[in-house]
C-alpha cells in the first residue's frame, strides 16, 4: 500500500514540497506542535489505564500518510502537495513519537514501548517502499515497459488502501467484545478530536497565510490519523491484545465517518477569505 502511494510522488514533487516552506511549516506545526497539545488536553479525560492511554496516544499523535490524500482530493484540498509531504510526515512521526509518549505517559512508556519495532517500522514502512518507488520511477523515465508498469500501478493506491482497511477491521472487530468497555470509553475522546483537529489545522494554515486549497490540506492532515501504520507497533506491546487493537480500530471507524462530513464541510473553508 505504501509503495504504490509513494509511487505517485514524483521525486521532483518532493523537492517542490520542501520549497513550499509556508505549507511545510504549517503542516509540521499543526501535526507536531498543535495536535499534540490538543491530545494532551484530551488525555486528561481518559481513565488511568496505561494501555488505554497508550492506544489513544499512538493513534492520535501520528498523522496519516496514505488515504488522507484521497479524502483531501475529494474535499478540494491540495492533495498533490500533501502527497509530496507524506515521507516527511512519516519520518518525523516515527522519530518524535517515542519522545511524545515519554512526555505524556512518563516512565510507563518505557515499560510498554520498545525501540526495536519503531526502527523496524521505519525501515520497512518508509525506507524500503520509498526506495522501491524511486527505482520504479527511474526505470519508467528510461523504459517504455517501466513507464507502462508505473502507469498500471498508479490505479492501485485506493483499492490497496481499501483492502488493508478491510483486512484490519475484519481482523480486529471480533476482538471488540473482549475490549468493548475500553473501546466505548475512548469514543467521546475520538469524537472531540474529530471536531477540534480540522479546526486547529485550518487556524494554523490561516496563521501561515496559506491559500484555501493548501489550508484544507492541512486541515485534512490534522484530522486524519495513521492507524494502519501504528497498529503493528501496538501489537508489539506486551499484553496489547485485545485492548490496543480495539482502541486503534475504533478511532479508524470514527474517523472514516468523520471524513464523509469533512468532504462536505471543508470545501466551504476559505471562500471569501483565502485565495487559492
Domains of the chain and CATH, by start: 2-267 (1.20.1530.20)
Q: What is the mean pLDDT of residues 63-76?
A: 88
Residue 63 has pLDDT above 90, yes or no: yes
pLDDT at 60: 96
Q: What is the mean pLDDT of residues 103-121?
A: 72
pLDDT at 271: 61
Share of the chain above pLDDT 70, in %: 87
- Please tell me the least confidently modeled range out of 88-92, 212-216, 250-254: 88-92
More confident residue, 133 or 236: 133
Please classify residue 114 by burial: count the beta carbons closer than 10 Å to its beta carbon, then call 0-12 exposed, 13-18 middle and 19+ buried: middle
More confident residue, 241 or 61: 61
Split at pLDDT 50, 70, 90, the class of 118 is low
More confident residue, 197 or 1: 197
Share of the chain above pLDDT 90, in %: 37
Residue 275 has pLDDT above 50, yes or no: no
pLDDT tens readout for residues 158-207: 788 778 778 877 776 776 666 777 888 999 999 999 999 999 999 999 99
Grid coordinates 483499492 are at which residue? 159
Mean pLDDT score across all residues of the chain: 84
Amino acid at each position: 500500500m505504501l509503495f504504490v502511494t509513494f509511487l505517485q510522488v514524483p521525486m521532483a514533487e518532493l523537492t517542490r514540497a520542501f520549497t513550499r516552506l509556508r505549507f511545510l511549516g504549517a503542516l509540521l506545526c499543526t501535526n507536531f506542535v498543535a495536535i499534540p497539545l490538543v491530545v494532551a488536553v484530551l488525555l486528561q479525560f481518559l481513565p488511568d489505564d496505561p494501555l488505554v492511554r497508550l492506544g489513544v496516544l499512538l493513534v492520535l499523535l501520528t498523522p496519516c500518510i496514505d488515504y488522507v490524500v484521497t479524502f483531501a482530493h475529494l474535499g478540494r484540498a491540495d492533495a498533490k502537495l500533501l502527497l509530496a509531504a507524506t515521507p516527511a510526515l512519516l519520518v518525523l512521526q516515527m522519530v518524535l513519537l517515542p519522545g511524545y509518549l515519554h512526555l505524556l505517559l512518563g516512565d510507563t512508556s518505557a515499560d510498554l514501548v520498545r525501540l526495536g519495532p519503531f526502527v523496524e517500522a521505519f525501515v520497512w514502512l518508509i525506507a524500503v517502499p520509498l526506495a522501491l518507488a524511486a527505482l520504479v520511477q527511474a526505470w519508467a523515465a528510461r523504459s517504455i515497459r517501466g513507464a507502462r508498469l508505473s502507469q498500471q500501478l498508479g490505479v492501485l493506491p485506493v483499492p490497496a488502501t481499501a483492502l488493508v482497511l478491510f483486512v484490519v477491521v475484519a481482523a480486529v472487530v471480533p476482538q471488540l467484545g473482549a475490549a468493548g468497555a475500553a473501546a466505548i470509553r475512548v469514543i467521546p475522546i475520538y469524537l472531540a478530536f474529530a471536531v477540534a483537529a480540522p479546526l486547529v489545522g485550518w487556524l494554523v494554515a490561516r496563521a501561515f497565510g496559506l491559500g484555501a486549497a493548501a489550508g484544507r490540506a492541512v486541515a485534512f492532515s490534522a484530522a486524519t490519523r495513521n492507524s494502519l501504520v501504528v497498529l503493528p507497533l501496538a501489537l508489539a506491546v506486551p499484553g496489547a491484545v485485545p485492548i490496543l487493537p480495539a482502541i486503534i480500530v475504533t478511532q479508524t471507524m470514527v474517523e472514516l465517518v468523520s471524513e464523509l462530513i469533512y468532504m462536505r464541510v471543508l470545501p466551504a473553508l476559505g471562500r471569501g477569505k483565502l485565495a487559492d
